[in-house]
Chains A and B, each alone.
Chain A
Amino acid sequence: MVSKEEIEHIAKLMRIDLDDHTVHIDRVQKMIEYFDILDKAGTESEELIINEQPLENLREDKYEPYGDKLIDKLKHYKEKFIRAPKMV
Chain B
Amino acid sequence: MNLGISALDYIEAIKNGEFTVEEFVSETFDQIKKVDGKLHAYLSLNEKALDQAKELDKKRKAKEKIGSCMGMPIAIKDNICVKGTKTTCASKMLEKYVAPFDATVIARLRKQDALFIGKTNLDEFAMGTTTEFSAYGPSKNPWNQEYVPGGSSGGSAVAVSALESVVSLGSDTGGSVRNPASFCSIVGLKPTYGLVSRYGLISYANSIEQIGPMARTVKDAAFLLNVIAGIDPNDNTTVDNHGEDYLKNIEAGIDGKKIGIISEMVGKGTDKEVSSATKKALAKFEDLGAKCEEISIDMVDYSVASYYTITSTEAGSNLARYDNIRYGFDFDLEGYEFNSYISKVRRNFGPEVTRRLIIGGFVPSAGHAGKYFLKALKVKSKLTKEINSAFKKVDFLVAPTVPILPFKFGEKLDDPVAMFLIDFNTVTANLTGKPAISVPFENSNGLPIGIQIIADSMQEKSLFQAAYALESTTNLPKVPL
Chain A residues packing against B (C-beta within 8 Å)? 2, 6-7, 10-11, 13-20, 24, 27-28, 30-32, 34-35, 37-41, 43-44, 46-49, 53, 57-59, 68, 70, 73-76, 82-88
Contacts and interface: CB of A to CB of B under 8 A. Distances in A.
Contact of A18 (B344, B354, B372): B354
A43 B354 contact: no
Contact of A34 (B333, B378, B420): B420
Contacts of A75: 330
B347 A31 contact: no
Contact of B309 (A30, A38, A53): A38
B344 A17 contact: yes
B363 interface: yes
Given A13-B361, A85-B333, A35 B343 contact: no
A35 B372 contact: yes
25 contacts: A7-B362, A11-B358, A14-B316, A14-B358, A15-B346, A16-B346, A16-B357, A17-B343, A17-B347, A24-B351, A30-B417, A31-B308, A34-B308, A37-B302, A38-B309, A38-B372, A40-B302, A59-B234, A68-B101, A73-B100, A85-B333, A85-B337, A86-B336, A86-B338, A88-B338
Contact of B359 (A32, A47, A73, A88): A32
Contacts of B330: 74-76
Interface stretch (B150-158, B167-175, B254-262, B379-387): B379-387
B320 to A, nearest CB: 9
Contacts of A76: 325, 330, 333
Interface of B is mostly: helix
A10 B363 CA distance: 10
Residue among A35, A47, A48 having the largest count of chain B Cβ atoms under 10 Å: A35
Contact of B417 (A20, A31, A44, A49): A31
A2 B363 CA distance: 11
B290 interface: no
Given A24-B354, A32-B359, A48 B343 contact: no
A57 B375 contact: no
Contacts of A34: 305, 308, 416-417, 420
A68 B358 contact: no
A47 B357 contact: no
A61 B209 CA distance: 25
A41 B358 contact: no
B472 interface: no
Contacts of B358: 7, 10-11, 14, 16, 24, 28
B222 interface: no
B16 interface: no
Interface residues of B, number: 55
A38 B390 CA distance: 22
A37 B305 CA distance: 7
Contact of B236 (A39, A59, A70): A59
Contacts of B347: 17, 19
Contacts of A83: 333
A48 B381 contact: yes
Interface in B313-348: 316, 325-326, 328, 330, 333, 336-339, 341-344, 346-347
Given A31-B359, A85-B338, A41 B354 contact: no
B378 A24 contact: no
Nearest to A40: B302
Contacts of B306: 38
Q: 9 shortest A-B CB distances, which residue pairs?
A: A43-B378, A14-B361, A46-B378, A85-B341, A38-B375, A41-B302, A15-B342, A17-B343, A15-B343
Given A59-B234, A85-B333, 14 more contacts: A11-B358, A14-B360, A24-B351, A24-B355, A28-B362, A32-B362, A32-B363, A35-B376, A38-B376, A41-B299, A48-B374, A48-B377, A73-B100, A86-B337
Give the most central of A32, A40, A75, A83: most B CB within 10 Å. A32
B365 interface: yes
A43 B382 contact: yes
A70 B98 CA distance: 11
